[in-house]
């Protein structure tokens, strides 16, 4: 696929926002905490964030040349979500919070050093 002018910037921002490896994210998505957080669409069993996490794992395992327009759109959603939720950081210890777990579904662990 030919890269659009904004694609390089989107990809850069995506890799800045996603600080979990594909294997760590995949392992996280199998946990109960991961499955318990997030907004579910019209009675679906899986939250939007969990679906996004599965897509992120796929994208992290793909070559840049294989990214579709839909992948770049999803990367933009990931960047927006991570930025928006980081701005809403709760006070105190975030280690075991739904806020952190939700961000982790989107590939960002705010507790990662």
Q: Say how many C-beta atoms besides its own lie within 10 A of residue 108's C-beta.
A: 24
Side-chain half-sphere CA neighbours of 10 within 13 A: 19
| Dist. CA 89–CA 91, nearest whole Å | 7
Per-residue pLDDT at 44 exceeds 70: no
| Dist. CA 59–CA 39, nearest whole Å | 22
Task: Give pLDDT, residue 1.
Answer: 44
Predicted TM-score (pTM) above 0.85: yes
Mean pLDDT, range 7-17, rounded to an integer:
95
- The answer to whether the beta carbons of residues 60 and 18 sit under 8 Å apart is yes
Task: Give pLDDT, residue 113.
Answer: 74
Task: Give pLDDT, residue 43.
Answer: 65
- Which sequence spans correspond to the domains of the chain? 7-37+45-105
Render pLDDT for 60-71 as a digit per residue (tens, 0 to 9): 999 999 999 999
Measured CA distances, 98 to 6, 13, 20, 43, 93 (Å) = 32, 24, 17, 20, 12
């Amino acid at each position: 696929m030919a890269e659009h002018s904004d694609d390089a910037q989107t990809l850069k921002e995506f890799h800045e926002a996603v600080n979990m490896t594909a294997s760590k994210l995949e392992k996280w998505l199998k946990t109960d905490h991961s499955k318990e957080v997030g907004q579910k669409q019209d009675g679906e069993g899986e939250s939007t964030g969990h679906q996004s996490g599965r897509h992120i794992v796929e994208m992290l395992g793909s070559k840049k040349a294989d990214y579709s327009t839909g992948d770049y759109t999803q990367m933009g959603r990931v960047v927006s979500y991570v930025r928006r939720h980081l701005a809403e950081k709760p006070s105190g210890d975030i280690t075991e919070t739904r806020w952190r777990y939700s961000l982790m579904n989107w590939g960002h662990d705010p507790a990662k050093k």
